[in-house]
Structure 1
């Protein structure tokens, strides 16, 4: 029995061409090779298959019964193989692909609207599923395909992941419109005199708390919440100060009677990156959505 490792697939292409042309010269021209190279390949085919395959004829070569029996299945198999090996094309307008993200609620707030507006324009049947990030970076979920992307503020990806910078953000303060502190300069002393709302960090201290610790300062946290959603409503009802990313603060201030105030210390800036697993680097659908996300200006000048 002939084992597959004994067969050079190029020899099968030669055989398919010889069966089509029934002429060594024409087959060599079709394959872009010489007659001597083709004759050598035919000799190898005869040895592998155990049959002469062709005999000389007045106008070329005539296939043996064994070659004729091989002809159609060989041609069909090669056609299927070539089809399988063709680069996969992705048509977003016809795709119903489901992409799964993990993101903090901050990034869901910032990204979901602009991303879906663009996706619906280009790929109306594509679905986006966003899951919350837990207390660990979901490396395994990216590796095993449960997640397509992670959107997070990590500066460096774990080994085996690729990343792309999406945008940068900075810290500002949010107060209610009629807050007493807005009647005078909002300086460091005024900031530290207030009580504050804090969104619980997933891992370690927040950027602001890190800065306070470095400066040897302390701010009074009156309310800690697990998500951004509840914090602005507490600000509306109290004199609490909410320190948060500008990209959340400005839309909230536009929608509610809230005021965005510059953070009175050097504002900690941070990067938001898109992470994906290396194995998805060349996937056409994945590459398409990465490009869509990179093209979102998210309020920045393009």
Structure 2
């Protein structure tokens, strides 16, 4: 159907098709989309057929176990999602009651960010919004913005060295990188961590997706130095027990270090050299910018992070609360 025909027949247009399209963009599968909408696979397949006829485009192409959107579907995704969000807002004018809310808030972040945020957020949400749910999606690098644009996550907590286009961003705070190790680590039994002790130590290197080369190693390279890295981990969850049970050292953001060090009695020391700060931020898509439930949830995330990671106001970026 041409754009002209669609415009002339808008009074006959089935808005449920746009809901189905938006769900397909999120779920990337007919069965999963049908389940999310509460309809059968056959009914969802018929809906996809109607969408393809409507836009004269395949829209979604089978690739392995999922369906990938065509360029036309990607072009449609943002305006459709924004339009549906405005309709939902118009139909829901009662306001947002956290104690009665049953929303499922989806957060995108790498696992060291999860370690900083989730313990406190779970405790806090159980008190202020006991019926709400949360889902953590592991994202990194270019996936952060892509997941926001296609509606796979509602909010991303990550470092943002640049301001991504087409997203709203709230810069939060800056952190130093620190060294974490067991209390009886050889060469640093007392006092501060020296450069000689740092370089002599055996290091375990955590590298989340999209962050293989850390600013720490880049800074050392500029100084003509190099860490003795004896192991590389893609998962932050393995680090704490490894640090507590062996004489190895790890470098991590101080916010994550505070979370993992306290329960295991690990030492946290400043690095014996200066590195660029790690700047953390929240990012979300414009379609949820004014949604009452999402505005409220972002406020809760910032409250928990403030308590957990930067009680010192000097680390707070200007204009965090707005």
Instruction: Give the structure-2-normalised TM-score.
Output: 0.63
Q: Aligned-pair distance for 1:257?
A: 3.8
Matched, 1:132 2:138: yes
Q: Aligned-pair distance for 1:93?
A: 1.3
Is the contact made by 1:155 and 1:273 (CA closer than 8 Å) also made in structure 2?
no
Paired with 1:217 and 1:121, the residues of 2 have a C-alpha distance of: 49
Q: 1:180 pairs with 186, 210, 214, which one?
A: 186
Against the structure 1 CA distance between its residues 134 and 183, is the aligned structure 2 distance closer, same or farther, given a 3 Å change threshold? closer
Q: Aligned-pair distance for 1:123?
A: 1.2
Which shifted more, 85-94 or 124-133?
85-94
Paired with 2:94 and 2:276, the residues of 1 have a C-alpha distance of: 43
Matches within 5 A, 1:92-241: 92-183=98-189, 186-203=193-210, 204-241=212-249
Is the contact made by 2:240 and 2:261 (CA closer than 8 Å) also made in structure 1?
no
Paired with 2:146 and 2:307, the residues of 1 have a C-alpha distance of: 29
Residue by residue over 1:99-134, the C-alpha shift from the partner in whole angstroms, topping out at 9 and shown as x without a partner, is 111111111111012222222222111101001114
**Tell me, which stretches of 5 or more residues in structure 1 are unaligned?**
6-80
1:16 equivalent in structure 2: none
Residue by residue over 1:184-210, the C-alpha shift from the partner in whole angstroms, topping out at 9 and shown as x without a partner, is 653112211222110024224112112
Q: Aligned-pair distance for 1:253?
A: 2.7
Against the structure 1 CA distance between its residues 143 and 242, is the aligned structure 2 distance closer, same or farther, given a 3 Å change threshold? same
Instruction: Give the structure-1-normalised TM-score.
Output: 0.67
1:57 equivalent in structure 2: none
1:285 equivalent in structure 2: 293
2:303 equivalent in structure 1: 295
Is the contact made by 2:202 and 2:248 (CA closer than 8 Å) also made in structure 1?
yes
Paired with 1:224 and 1:265, the residues of 2 have a C-alpha distance of: 22
Paired with 2:146 and 2:125, the residues of 1 have a C-alpha distance of: 27
Is the contact made by 2:115 and 2:259 (CA closer than 8 Å) also made in structure 1?
no
Paired with 1:201 and 1:214, the residues of 2 have a C-alpha distance of: 23
Structure whose alpha-carbon radius of gyration is higher: 1
Q: Aligned-pair distance for 1:182?
A: 1.8
Q: Aligned-pair distance for 1:228?
A: 1.5
Paired with 1:85 and 1:258, the residues of 2 have a C-alpha distance of: 52
Against the structure 1 CA distance between its residues 86 and 172, is the aligned structure 2 distance closer, same or farther, given a 3 Å change threshold? closer
**Tell me, which stretches of 5 or more residues in structure 2 are unaligned?**
1-7, 11-86, 314-322
Matches within 5 A, 1:13-92: 84=90, 87=93, 89-92=95-98
Against the structure 1 CA distance between its residues 181 and 151, is the aligned structure 2 distance closer, same or farther, given a 3 Å change threshold? same
Residue by residue over 1:155-186, the C-alpha shift from the partner in whole angstroms, topping out at 9 and shown as x without a partner, is 33321100112332211111211122123653
Q: How many residues align?
A: 224
- Secondary structure in 2 matching 1:182: coil
2:264 equivalent in structure 1: 256
Paired with 2:220 and 2:90, the residues of 1 have a C-alpha distance of: 58
Matched, 1:274 2:264: no
